[in-house]
Each structure stands twice: as structure tokens, then as C-alpha cells.
Amino acid sequence: MSATAKDDYPEWSVDDLVVEGPSVYLVASESGVSPQAVAKRPGFRAIAAVRQGHVYLVDSDLVSRPGPRVVLGLEALARAMHPGTLP
């Protein structure tokens, strides 16, 4: 999600992400890519979230379909991004 997104399914180049400077980078589980693999992509270490280790795997099943499970997905993200703050 970004304030500069121009449509519902935007695509950004590495250069765009470096300029945008996201504080968090989410990896969809359905992509089959790990946060560690993201950090190894050419140029990705220049992205603030990657450089700071704020790359998180999100369960696509929990956050991509409207319904009660979205809450579970949000809780999982909160736990990953803020360890020890939720029961």
C-alpha cells in the first residue's frame, strides 16, 4: 500500500521503491518467496525496509479474501512487526 499507487494492483520498480522508501515490505506466502530471498534481489538492499530487516511474510489466505480471517491476518502482521506486544 502506498499513497502514490495509481491503481488497485500497482507495480513498482526497484528504483521506485528506493525513492518511495517503504518502512515495511510484505511478501505474500503464495509467491513462494522468502523474506531472505527478497533481501538478495539485485538492488533491494537499497530499499529502506529491506535494509532495516522489516520484510515480513504474510499468509495470503488470511489477508487476500474478505471475511473474518482478515482479523487473524492483521494479528499475525502485528505480531511479526511488533514482537512481544500482543498476547
Classify residue 7: in a domain, yes or no.
Answer: no
For residue 1, the model assigns a pLDDT of 61
| SS3 per-residue string spanning the chain | CCCCCCCCCCCCCHHHHHHHCCCCEEEEHHHCCCHHHHHCCCCHHHCHHHHCCCEEEECHHHHCCCCCHHHHHHHHHHHHHCCCCCC
Supply the range of the domain harboring residue 65: 14-81
| Stated pTM of the model | 0.81
- Tell me the CATH number at 45: 3.40.50.1980
For residue 7, the model assigns a pLDDT of 84
Query: What residues in the chain have per-residue pLDDT under 50?
Result: none
Classify residue 86: in a domain, yes or no.
Answer: no
For residue 12, the model assigns a pLDDT of 85
For residue 33, the model assigns a pLDDT of 93
For residue 27, the model assigns a pLDDT of 92
Classify residue 19: in a domain, yes or no.
Answer: yes
Classify residue 38: in a domain, yes or no.
Answer: yes
